[in-house]
Amino acid sequence: MSDRSTLESAMIDIIAGSAGGTVQCLSFHPLDTVKVRLQTQSLDRAHYRGMSHAFSTIVREEGVTGLYKGIQSPLFGLTFFTAFQFFSYGLGKVAAMRLCGSDKKEANMTECCIAGLLAGTAEAILVTPIDLLKTQLQRPGHKYSGFRDCAQYVRKINGISGYYQGLGATILRDAPGSAVYWCTYEIVKKKTKREGSDDLDSRSVLLAGGAAGLSYWTLIYPLDVIKSTVQNDAIIRGERKFRGISDCTRQVYRKIGLGGFYRGITPCVVRSVPANAVAFWVYEMATATAAAHPSRLMNANSESQVYH
């Protein structure tokens, strides 16, 4: 693959991924709020009995806006993150194919798996600060006036490294999860696409995107519970309930049992299937549109390099 075609593909991934991330965030943030509330409620005394009860309680106690708490972080972050997700996977495929010495046009499943592992590790480093701020702002009764106040408080207490509270758990979640996510998407998309057609198959993309989201969360959900619980802990180190991933895992199991690692899975699954189906569909539509006019994309990039 030439440098020019690699650059074109990267730019298309970024633009299309941004579009998919924005639509995903605006459409499904309330379900994410419910998921995080169920995951991070007290281990000793649960405030919510399930998804429906959590929805009604949040609306009754905090109003409809309570379902959108913390949206500033993912609205900016998820848009950027989704762009980076598609971009890093695209580069990961190029790297994996070169590593395996492949000269084929399309990556095989082994190369897609390697690309997913590489992309997931890179994504974890990017998404940890976004998830930390989102999780802190989704806490009931938090003391922050908003996104900016939360970000400033974290930096004041722990410096830049404070934004990486929960990084280890995020890597454990995202590296294997991303490999499964992308392989599932590629396999289902290939199996369900109409034979002999090179046109965008919306049904195939929607099915593959939904299957990718479902497989990802089914596999890594217990790790997501640990990640959210660690990131929901106090910012001040001396006030934290958990000493790390192992301690958090032990406490959840001791107080709640195996079921504690699946708290909030219902809204997560309800959200993940349509959210990922929509995100992939928007991405594929935007990709097809951008790919149809590559010269305009490159000309715009050349002009930006001249003037900036």
Contact between 88 and 118 under an 8 Å Cβ cutoff? The reply is yes
| 256 alpha-carbon distance from chain centroid | 27
d(CA 120, CA 182): 10
d(CA 90, CA 85): 9
Does residue 201 carry a pLDDT above 60? yes
DSSP state of 263: T
Average pLDDT of the segment spanning 277-288: 82
Token duo for residue 248: 């958090």
Does residue 112 carry a pLDDT above 90? yes
CATH for 3-307? 1.50.40.10
Contact between 208 and 182 under an 8 Å Cβ cutoff? The reply is no
| Tally of CA atoms within 13 A in the half-sphere of 17 that contains its CB | 21
Average pLDDT of the segment spanning 96-110: 85
Does residue 63 carry a pLDDT above 80? yes
- Residue showing tokens 């590790």: 121
Average pLDDT of the segment spanning 216-238: 93
Contact between 90 and 10 under an 8 Å Cβ cutoff? The reply is yes
Max distance between CA atoms of the chain, in angstroms, equals: 62
Cα end-to-end span (Å), the chain: 27
From residue 125, give the alpha-carbon distance in Å to each of 112, 128, 152.
20, 6, 19
Average pLDDT of the segment spanning 33-41: 81
Between residues 192 and 27, the one the model is more confident about: 192
| Tally of CA atoms within 13 A in the half-sphere of 94 that contains its CB | 13
From residue 249, give the alpha-carbon distance in Å to each of 110, 154, 255, 264.
31, 24, 10, 16
pLDDT value at residue 104: 79
Residues 6 or more apart whose Cβ sits within 8 Å of residue 18: 79, 80, 82, 83
Between residues 217 and 291, the one the model is more confident about: 217
d(CA 276, CA 190): 17
pTM, to two decimals? 0.74
d(CA 149, CA 130): 14
Mean pLDDT (the chain, rounded):
82
Residues 6 or more apart whose Cβ sits within 8 Å of residue 32: 74, 267, 271
% residues pLDDT > 70 (the chain)? 81
d(CA 212, CA 206): 10
pLDDT value at residue 306: 30
Q: Coil, strand, or helix at residue 37?
A: helix
pLDDT value at residue 300: 42
Token duo for residue 55: 């929805």
Q: Point out the least confidently predicted range of 56-65, 79-88, 191-200.
A: 191-200
pLDDT value at residue 298: 46
CA-based nearest residue to 241, from 254, 229, 258? 229
pLDDT value at residue 226: 95
Average pLDDT of the segment spanning 245-257: 93
d(CA 219, CA 260): 15
